[in-house]
Structure 1
Amino acid sequence: MSEETATIIEPVDVLKAPEPSVVYTLPTATVGNMEAIEGFVANVEKFFADVKIDPTNPEQVKELKALRADVNKAAAAIDDKRKGMDKDVKAAMADADKALNTLRDRLKAVYAKTGEQIAEADRLWSEARRSLLQGEYEAVAPALIELIPLDAFIGAEPKLMRKSWGGNKACNALDDMVERAVADRDQLAQAGLAHPNEADAVYCRTLDVRSALAEDKRLKDAEAAAAEHAAKAQALRETIERPKPKPKPRQEQPQPLSRYTFEFDGTEAHAAEVKRLLVSMGVGNRTMKKVRLG
């Protein structure tokens, strides 16, 4: 029978983590001919401080361009030396820097890996606390569960789901909130609201009496605005559909009367027709005299 050898992992005291003992020598950079270079730069500054050219003279412009190019080359040479020095210093640090970064990242990986287990533990704790609260809620107010979900109480008091409150304290707080919710709903039901059902629905969602009353007012204001609009629309419609009054007939001014003499040649029938016409026109004081013509 073979014996299995168990691997024993010694506990690690993370509080006694050794600090990296980094040994390095700070670089000391010196410029051996600093005095000569500084003197050169000062002479260049002094020389160009007094340089004045005629910008209309091509030869002077050409000569100044050449001098400026030489100044720029001297500046570039100084900068190249500085860059080379920086490169050498950084290269000396590269190996140690990379090694320390690698060790740091390995510890960060351990931290992240163990964080997954912490997250799982928190999830299990939250499930257990929610189950405890749900059981308490069902025990004290089973008829209220369908109206006010447990999440409404948790939203109103987040400490119900925090570890700073023990299970008994959380359950007692939930009981107090349920009792207050029942009293608030009774108060709203007896308040004579115009929209009690809608106001109650808002309260069950928010556990806030003021929000419930605000919802009732909002609905009442909306109804009043709708009624006012309907009344104005009806009045406008009646105004548009109302028959317009007929214009009164214009009364003509009576004309002054005159006497006219009218003669014509005709038969008895013609005379009778003329008489009827005069009568229909309302001509008064009519006189017709007949004279035979042969």
Structure 2
Amino acid sequence: MRKIKKQKIYLLALLLPFIIFVIGFEIGPLVAMINNSFFADDGIHRTINQYLTIFNSKFYMEGIKNSLMIAIFSSVVAVIIGLIAAHSFTKFSKNTQNRLLMLSNVTSNFEGIPLSFSYIILLGTNGLFTLLFHKMGFDVLGNFNLYSWTGLILVYVYFQIPLAIMLIYPSFQGIKQQWKEASALLGGSKLSFWIRIGIPVLLPSIVGTFSILFASAMGAYGTAYALVGSNYNLMSLQIASLVTSDVTLQPQLGSALGVLLASTMVAAMWFNERMMRRIRRDLR
């Protein structure tokens, strides 16, 4: 018993730096943000007026709506494309799969300001492809505007697809070849196999991937800021403007928006957990 207690104490001592890190850089700022959101603009009197200001303002509610729409739409598109791409990966040899996964891993980290700058160079008003197609007489891009809703969706989907592939791909390893053979012997087509067996098995991974992509898109700041600046109303841009701006500096209101943003992400994770439990129960 003493040895077991000593081992537990030793393990806790090893975890101590990680615990301090989590408290200092995760829990501490979160508690400070929640506490700050219940102060008035003077930073002295406690109030819930910051939240009332948000819910009574069309400007802030529009930012929340825009962020939700972009996060949901881009996540759905990325999951669909990632699902198809991950399935395609399984058709290659192991060496090729490893190379494709390595490429996806590298690409998934290419986001923020570098990604937006790359799109501006290629598809901006004076971008490489924009000018090239114009000189060639091809109106391929038409009325496409990179600095709009469509441009934001395109950039968001780009950095979400590799992450979706990385998260969904391992689930395909759980689909056994024997299942496909058994389905074929019983007269089932490839389509019926995926509808009745494949998709239900992959569903927990799909739902979990969607929730992670949704949270990632909701919290994305650098990509949107570099691409549209303050020309498009997004929740993350509102928070940054309220916390860092010299003109509209209202850190208490920014903290309240941050709490709502964090609550949205927590709700997405909670929904994901409930859905995955229900799916796993139904599969049993």
| Structure 1 and Structure 2 fold alike (TM over 0.5) | no
Range into which the TM-score falls when normalised by the shorter chain: under 0.3
User: What TM-score do the two structures reach when normalised by structure 1?
Assistant: 0.23
| Larger Rg over CA atoms | 1
Tell me which of the two structures has the higher relative contact order, counting C-alpha pairs closer than 8 angstroms and 6 or more residues apart.
2
Select the structure that is richer in helix.
Answer: 2
